[in-house]
Chains A and B, each alone.
Chain A
Amino acid sequence: MNINLTLFGEMLTFAILVWVIMKYIWPPLMKAIQERQEKIAAGLEAAQRGQRELKLIQTNAAEQIHQAKIKASTILDQANQQATAFIEEGKASAQTERAKILAQAKLNIEQEINKTKDELQQHVVDLVIATTEKLLQQKIDETTQKNLINKLITNI
């Protein structure tokens, strides 16, 4: 335990060391640590903000999906209504068309019948005339006459 000049040497060393650390180590170290703390705080805040935004967006998205669903169902309803309306319309027009065509066909048939009747009458008349002409022109026996008349009748 001898005190000697080392005491002052060590005091000087200590003083220099403290001065160096105070001057060149402590301020930049503090600055770096402070920057890092701020960065961490900012990062945490950003993460929280992100989470909040995500939540907001999620509720928005859900709301929008809900709206879209409602819209889709109304569109579907409208389409259905329109489709049935179209079908009904088509049915009705088809019905009237059918009635029209039916009536036309009836008319045509009647016309055709009348025409045939007329033609037949004309034919009969022609036949009678021809037969009569033949009867008049030649002498015909009874049987032949009968035959002719029968023929005529079957012809009618």
Chain B
Amino acid sequence: MVTSLPLTESEYIQHHLTYYQLNLRTLTIGNGGGFWTLNLDTLSLTIFSGILIVSLFYFVIKNFNSERPGKLQTAIEMAVESLQNLIKEMFHGEDKLIAPLALTIFSWIFVLNSFDLVPVDFLPRILLFFGIEHFRTVPTDDVNLTFALSFSVFLLVIYYNFKGKGCVNLTKEVFSSPFGIWLAPINFIFRIIEEAVKPLSLSLRLFGNMFAGELIFLLIATMPWWIQWTAGGIWSIFHILVISIQAFIFMMLTVVYLSMAHESGH
């Protein structure tokens, strides 16, 4: 079972795009379980990142110094404050969930995307010693994760629609906007499409960006070793930008969608 090197380029890439999966039907490692499969690499890295950001925030709160703030504290303060301002501008009304939600989305996706900057063979090679044959380093290029995020946001959008407008008003809005009550079926279909597109675009945007990024890193890794640093360096620097922007866009759109859902008559 242990991969024998050297591999061809396509085999190498194929190998790196295979998940570390647990088949829940047979409770064995490996694919073939269909829906009843867990991607252990995605799960472990997301849980690890979640614990990481919670402990980071916890550390900052525990060591909060209001006289002489450290660099980390100042950075988090600035991030949290700009986040608050953003939400204040977009989301009208009081809500306990939306600000922490946005903070979680941004920091979590940021950390998860950052795994893209880890050299493509680093984690898989280390884990090979422990008998783990396939391991995908970037959790955000797993559609399961991006859809999990966007589907959660979708559920929240529905919840905020009901919460912000009430059942009656929401029903009225769904059937009468944007073309008036006489075209109610068309309005309804439009609304369904509009709502369905939101989670789809959210998750596919993130997935597409990160998958393409990782694929290009893999392609760079198949280049001769003495030239890798040029393309790899440029792509890494560019990717620092992509990582932050994708995390920010996901957070921003979440806030926008929830604000739209919360406010009547958009």
> Could you list which residues of chain A lie within 8 angstroms of chain B, going by C-beta atoms?
1-11, 13-18, 20-22, 24-26, 28-30, 32-33, 35-36, 39
Contacts and interface: CB of A to CB of B under 8 A. Distances in A.
Chain B interface helix/strand/loop/mixed: helix
Contacts of A28: 61
A26 B80 CA distance: 10
A5 to B, nearest CB: 6
10 contacts: A9-B144, A14-B149, A20-B50, A21-B103, A22-B100, A28-B61, A29-B57, A29-B61, A29-B80, A35-B66
B167 interface: no
A25 B58 contact: yes
Given A14-B152, A18-B100, A36-B66, A7 B57 contact: no
B200 interface: no
Contacts of B149: 10, 14
A2 B66 CA distance: 48
Shortest 3 CB-CB distances between A and B: which pairs?
A: A10-B148, A6-B144, A22-B100
A32 B80 CA distance: 12
Interface in B21-71: 24, 33-39, 42-43, 46-47, 50, 53-54, 57-58, 60-61, 64, 66-67, 69
B104 A21 contact: yes
A148 to B, nearest CB: 130
Contacts of B242: none
Given A20-B50, A21-B57, A25-B54, 9 more contacts: A3-B147, A5-B36, A6-B142, A7-B148, A15-B152, A17-B50, A17-B104, A29-B60, A32-B64
